[in-house]
Structure 1
């Protein structure tokens, strides 16, 4: 269903009111859904059951992480400590009180309860619990019943059906949680040679709970690791411009999912364990990677924006606001933006407009990165089910400038089977992101990716998932 939204984000300024009441008061809210604390414990396995060792995989308190997130310009953050044998008890007795303390210590930061869920039959995902009086107990129950590494009695839980059962349970909750697959290609053995996360699994999970399993990290964390950017350790399957290959390849996994009509979104996160300045391999929440959500400064509306794709992912603060709209030309004034669907007949000319804003302040490396290129990407479903892609690039001097805004437009006919439209850009001139190599400086290789706008022709051939 089309919502008449025109995205005019002004980060840090007064909220903009729009014609659609549902959009009133929204602005760009930067955040991070993947942050570890001292309750990502290590384990003494000489005891039965294993004994948790506080601070084993991160030295920081949750209050410390919240302060760092606020310092680096975030409005919201999800606490996502990983599990282990019997970790649900750690969640209940230690991590939850630590979250309550962090909320008292840093009240101006919206903080979600969550965890890095050990996905049965796969790897990891950020689990974000909807705020409310049951948020502690819901997380404890999900972790205790379904997390891959939770059992302390040797019973195997590393199977795909357990993940399906977990999602089936989550979708029945009165306020369903959210889940984003973390670092999806980290265990790949090559480009298109998948490891512990396969496209068929993404489809199965999304089919089971499309309002819960809503996307994946487009840009994984651990970006400060110079030897293996993102901790993608296999040189044959690296990140590309800091983003996962499932996202960066035009016509690849992400585009295939979108061409199938799936509302499947991407994010960027820090996966922060220990900061580079303290001898670690990570950046703080918001220091390098941000996910901007178009929402009111309210936990429920931010969750709604994450669920419905009103967001873009960016590294190095190369931009801090984005407007991507698709509109019908002529007398038809209908417009759709991120996460929305515009219904117009096939063959009708659609106008795509991208506006991005360069920040006034330096990034957290003390620099003002300049955009070198913008790209609009349009996909549609082919007869054989594979996406048919077209794109158009602009470089400095070929776009319009309006103060800090860079603006491009593209008019083209609506494909017979409908379409999706997304955007990306960079401070590099790489026509497509190239493979990251050891020693690369991540601050020289910055990208943003928008989530898509969908175009539906109203025909059965272009019905969406």
Structure 2
């Protein structure tokens, strides 16, 4: 597996606090959240004036407080407010969106609420930018938007240049509390399967190389899942979502697997991209209504960010599952193991056992349904030729798994190959062996999937 010179730095950043050093998982639980939510401060613009005048509620009618209330009602424990930018929008962020966040925090104190934005990526499209909580969180976001966001300059100035994104990441990685970034709907502008648009795999690699502790991953499942004609608003029929997930994630051996096979710690999430709910004539679900990203963390903003940064999370739609344990164990004396986002270092040929446990909810989802898990897949990848990792998939159905109340568990034993491997998992309520291409007018509640982030197994050199 590829070894990066920055991994020791990441390891230092990941060290638990003294209070949790002895038991780093003490107090942690699966906390559901959403990092892509719009409010009335995703403004429209009156471009007849100079500079353009922001129009409140242009892209969403909802207050930040309303979004937080809906998130809490849908079982979320954390959420990121991510409004669109635009010409001079950093002033809107400072003067309006920030006070609205403070009010939402006062009105919904039990929900962890992060300051953030949908960052206009120079020479690309969009990303969720998540600011670490602290005394500088307002000013940090304002400065990042003002100095780096693609759409911030007043016309005719432009920042639509790839070097600007690399400069932004280089700056972010130097901050005392670095923010997080996840690329949003990466294949929405693709023209076909494997035919990329505004986000290309080479760009993902360059951005990740520039600041791996900041650019942590991408939306595996984009929002807009209630859009009837184009699920996820992936409007090109030749480049749709697959089971509601972006092709970069959904296709085994695809872009995500190629990045993982290089040793990149690159994670996926699921979000709502909520603008206008389908009940109000829109094409979106509310935060947590359909898509959730579960993070293994304490109910603490810093630990939630730590879980997002280091891959202790899984993505799910329709409340198919609400807890997941994926671990790789050595077999024999003095067993060792690693879980999601972690790394197990063992010699080649070591026998290991992959164990997956998932829990089905005991309550109905927002559609009033309790979907049954049809199958789960354990997916193993190894380095191969660039963009073509070697993949294995082992499928398990109810005849294969052990049932313990709401829990389903499976295992797979193998030997570690000479060049190491990674292990991830997915599952569905459908009989589809692979996620099918999504078509107009399908019912998203009948096509549910979960995806686990990987465990890495590395062979010492």
> Does the pair score TM above 0.5?
yes
**Aligned-residue offset at 1:396:** 2.1
Report if the CA contact (8 A) 1:35-1:270 is conserved.
yes
Distance 1:449 1:222, change over 3 A: same
Which structure 1 residue ranges, 4+ long, deviate > 6 Å from structure 2?
A: none
Task: Name the SS for the 1:274 alignment partner.
Answer: coil
CA distance in structure 1 between the partners assigned to 2:251 and 2:445 by the alignment: 21
| TM-score, normalised with respect to structure 1 | 0.94
User: Where does residue 117 of structure 2 map in the other structure?
Assistant: 115
Distance 1:384 1:212, change over 3 A: closer
**Aligned-residue offset at 1:386:** 3.1
| TM-score, normalised with respect to structure 2 | 0.95
Distance 1:32 1:413, change over 3 A: same
Task: Name the SS for the 1:378 alignment partner.
Answer: strand
What aligned pairs does 1:370-409 form with structure 2 within 5 A after superposition? 370-382=372-384, 386-409=388-411
**Aligned-residue offset at 1:87:** 0.2
Q: Which residue of 349, 352, 355 corresponds with 1:350?
A: 352
User: Where does residue 90 of structure 1 map in the other structure?
Assistant: 92
Report if the CA contact (8 A) 2:37-2:274 is conserved.
yes
Q: Which residue of 156, 162, 165 corresponds with 1:163?
A: 165
CA distance in structure 2 between the partners assigned to 1:434 and 1:177 by the alignment: 35
What aligned pairs does 1:428-439 form with structure 2 within 5 A after superposition? 428-439=430-441
CA distance in structure 1 between the partners assigned to 2:151 and 2:405 by the alignment: 52
**Aligned-residue offset at 1:331:** 0.6
CA distance in structure 2 between the partners assigned to 1:332 and 1:170 by the alignment: 41
Is 1:125 matched with 2:120?
A: no
Q: Which moved more, 1:146-155 or 1:277-286?
A: 146-155
CA distance in structure 2 between the partners assigned to 1:245 and 1:396 by the alignment: 27
Distance 1:383 1:445, change over 3 A: closer
**Aligned-residue offset at 1:385:** 6.7
Distance 1:383 1:439, change over 3 A: closer
User: Where does residue 197 of structure 2 map in the other structure?
Assistant: 195
Distance 1:334 1:150, change over 3 A: same
User: Where does residue 150 of structure 1 map in the other structure?
Assistant: 152
Number of equivalent positions:
445
User: Where does residue 206 of structure 1 map in the other structure?
Assistant: 208
Task: Name the SS for the 2:71 alignment partner.
Answer: helix
User: Where does residue 38 of structure 1 map in the other structure?
Assistant: 40
User: Where does residue 362 of structure 1 map in the other structure?
Assistant: 364
Report if the CA contact (8 A) 1:260-1:385 is conserved.
no
Task: Name the SS for the 1:165 alignment partner.
Answer: helix
String of CA shifts for 1:368-390, please: whole Å, max 9, x gaps: 00000000000010266731111
Q: Which residue of 56, 71, 74 corresponds with 2:73?
A: 71
**Aligned-residue offset at 1:398:** 1.8
Task: Name the SS for the 1:216 alignment partner.
Answer: strand
Is 1:282 matched with 2:293?
A: no
Is 1:61 matched with 2:37?
A: no
Q: Which residue of 423, 442, 445 corresponds with 1:443?
A: 445
User: Where does residue 294 of structure 2 map in the other structure?
Assistant: 292
For structure 1, which runs of at least 5 residues remain unmatched after alignment? 3-16, 460-465
**Aligned-residue offset at 1:348:** 1.1
CA distance in structure 2 between the partners assigned to 1:328 and 1:377 by the alignment: 18
CA distance in structure 1 between the partners assigned to 2:261 and 2:182 by the alignment: 19
**Aligned-residue offset at 1:21:** 1.2
Task: Name the SS for the 2:185 alignment partner.
Answer: coil
Task: Name the SS for the 1:23 alignment partner.
Answer: coil
Is 1:182 matched with 2:184?
A: yes
Task: Name the SS for the 2:178 alignment partner.
Answer: coil
Distance 1:414 1:81, change over 3 A: same
CA distance in structure 2 between the partners assigned to 1:203 and 1:94 by the alignment: 35
For structure 2, which runs of at least 5 residues remain unmatched after alignment? 1-6, 9-18
Task: Name the SS for the 1:422 alignment partner.
Answer: strand
Distance 1:20 1:247, change over 3 A: farther
Distance 1:383 1:345, change over 3 A: farther
String of CA shifts for 1:219-246, please: whole Å, max 9, x gaps: 0000001110000000000000000000
Report if the CA contact (8 A) 2:254-2:387 is conserved.
no
- Quote the RMSD (CA, aligned, Å): 1.4
